[in-house]
């Protein structure tokens, strides 16, 4: 048995399990486009990462990394990691979006340190 979390995204759905996340959206022509990627959560490595307060901090870091990778890989936008917080919140389902509702995401920063970006993009951890 595995735990899976899910939420609505614009015209689609995002699901995340312990080792993968996926997004499926309907394109204007009616076809379904999907993206899925493995994640390796640091929470699986040590029990201390699963302590409630620590788990929240680790989960925030994971969400920011997923948001940064999505913005860089799919949108070709090199924002600051914290600047991807809006995208991360949308991808994680923390913002309620009704089907067909238009949403604007403010993504800030464009001066991400190359070493930071390279480390996040090269890592298979969340």
Question: pTM score, two decimals?
Answer: 0.60
Answer whether residue 1 shows pLDDT above 50: no
Answer whether residue 114 shows pLDDT above 70: yes
Range of the domain at 115: 5-122
Number of structural domains (the chain) is 1
Give the range among 10-14, 90-94, 111-115 with minimum mean pLDDT. 10-14
Look at residue 126 in the predicted model and tell me its pLDDT: 58
What tokens does 30 get?
A: 């009616």
Express as a percent the part of the chain with pLDDT over 70.
85
Q: 96: alpha, beta or left, given left = phi > 0 and alpha = psi -120 to 50?
A: beta
11 versus 31: which is more confidently predicted?
A: 31
CB neighbours of 51 closer than 8 A, spacing ≥ 6? Answer: none
Look at residue 124 in the predicted model and tell me its pLDDT: 66
Residue 115 banded pLDDT, cuts 50, 70, 90? confident
């Amino acid at each position: 048995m595995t735990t899976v979390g899910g939420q609505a995204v614009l015209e689609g759905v995002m699901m995340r399990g312990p080792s993968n996340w996926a997004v499926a959206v309907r394109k204007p022509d009616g076809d379904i486009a999907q993206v899925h990627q493995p994640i390796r959560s640091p929470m699986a490595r040590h029990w201390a990462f699963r302590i409630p307060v620590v788990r929240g901090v680790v989960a925030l870091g994971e969400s920011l990394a997923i948001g940064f990778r999505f913005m860089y890989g799919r949108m070709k936008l090199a924002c600051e990691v914290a600047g991807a917080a809006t995208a991360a919140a949308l991808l994680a389902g923390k913002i309620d979006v009704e089907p067909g509702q238009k949403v604007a995401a403010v993504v800030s920063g464009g001066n991400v340190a190359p070493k930071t970006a390279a480390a996040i993009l090269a890592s298979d951890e969340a």
